[in-house]
Amino acid sequence: MVADVSTGPLHVAPPRPLFQTAIPQTTAPFLSDYVVTKDGTRFLVKVPTDPSGAAPITVTINWLARLHTTAR
């Protein structure tokens, strides 16, 4: 977000989005999907490597029994 500020009689305009990204907000609110460079002129934004979305999740059921079977 960005807000225009004028001096003299102090006036702060309502905030508005600074830029749009193609990535949805998926992380926790206290984690950032971007970082500002030291000189303040650029933003480095996380971009997913797979543009089609999230990778599939594999769920293994009864993994402990399988562990015992393969350890013998």
| Span 36-62, pLDDT tens digits | 899 989 988 877 776 666 677 888 888
Report whether 3 contacts 16 (CB < 8 A).
yes
pTM: 0.42
| Span 61-70, pLDDT tens digits | 888 887 876 6
φ, ψ of residue 52 to 5 degrees: the values are -80, -10
Q: What is the 3-state secondary structure (H, E, C) of the chain?
A: CECCEECCCCEECCCECCCCCCCCCCCCCCCCCEEECCCCCCEEECCCCCCCCCCCCCCCCCHHHHHHHHHC
For residue 5, the model assigns a pLDDT of: 95
